[in-house]
Amino acid sequence: MDSAKGTGRRRSPRLALRVGGSLSGRSPREVIAVDLSLTGCLVRCPTLLDHGAILDLQLELEDGPLSAKVRVTETSVDGERAPGAPPQYLTGLQFLGLPAKGAARLRRLLDEVRRRRSADAAAH
């Protein structure tokens, strides 16, 4: 997906997380975010999206919807599907326009999920 100036490292670490949402462009489509960071996300989508396309993303976070302008950075066929099922695609999205309030909410959510997972791991 998107790397920081060719170093092979992401600008922001991603957190595996399943969050429902939708993408709007010419036609709306349901998506599931499978990982999330402060700079973007990876979504599972039923349609192939054009590289570079600018879309509106809405994610249904624990504390309410989060809306952002996003750019498609990469799309590939998702290998996880039932035999005979229509193809699904994994699409990398870069946040372009995430309001400051939205970014703060996203940061809090990611920190909270990391804390919960650390506490769960320490308990086991």
CATH class of the 15-123 domain in this structure: mainly beta
Contact 69, 56 (CB under 8 A): yes
Look up residue 8 and give its amino acid: G
Domains of the chain, by residue range, sit at 15-123
Alpha carbons 19 and 54: distance in angstroms, whole number: 20
Residue 25's CB is within 10 A of a number of other CB atoms, namely: 13
- Radius of gyration of the chain, Cα coordinates, nearest whole angstrom: 15
pTM: 0.82
- Residue by residue, pLDDT tens for the chain (124 residues) are 444 444 444 566 788 889 999 999 888 899 999 999 999 999 999 999 999 999 999 999 988 999 999 999 999 998 777 788 888 999 999 999 888 999 999 999 999 988 988 887 777 6
Rounded distance between C-alpha atoms, residue 47 and residue 30, angstroms: 10
